[in-house]
Amino acid sequence: MPPPDRPDEAGRFAFDGLDRVLHEKKRLGILTSLLAHRDGLVFNELKELCTLTDGNLNRHLAALQEDGLVEIWKGMNGRRPQTLVRLTTVGRERFLGYLGLLEGIVHDALSAAEAAPAPQKGVGLNPA
């Protein structure tokens, strides 16, 4: 229960708005790469930018595609098969909203750190 002088503190740092599909580290890299390349990226370029293996990138792309965040186009470049990946309109909007949420979290953390008094030693507790 929050102290009576701070009723708005309950759940302040629970971060319930974090989206597990977007928040995974490698997916953040994939989505950021695609956001920076509006026309999309060829599979091997995306793989290199995010330092992923073929299988790992395929697994993450499948999760992102299932949620409607990316679209995958298959075709040929001469005689070689080629896969193009790009953000969907919904994926772009959702990711930009998510980045705004993360920005708010960083702002809250920095504000809390600046407002917090320096820790005091010897308040009746011993280091563990």
Question: Residue 57's domain spans which residues?
Answer: 18-100
Neighbour tally for 67: CB within 10 Å:
16
- Within a domain: residue 115? no
- Within a domain: residue 116? no
Mean pLDDT confidence for 77-93? 95
- The confidence band for 8, taking pLDDT boundaries of 50, 70 and 90, is low
Per-residue pLDDT tens over the stretch 15-41: 777 788 888 999 999 999 999 999 999
Distance CA 70, CA 57 (A): 13
- Within a domain: residue 62? yes
Domain total in the chain: 1
Q: How far is CA 120 from CA 110, 113, 116, 124, in A?
A: 20, 15, 11, 10
Two structure tokens written together for 102: 């993360």
Task: Residue 30: give its domain's CATH number.
Answer: 1.10.10.10
Q: How far is CA 103 from CA 39, 97, 109, 115, in A?
A: 25, 10, 10, 18
- Within a domain: residue 47? yes
- Within a domain: residue 123? no
- Within a domain: residue 96? yes
pTM score, two decimals? 0.78
CB 42 within 8 A of CB 82: yes
- Within a domain: residue 66? yes
- Within a domain: residue 35? yes
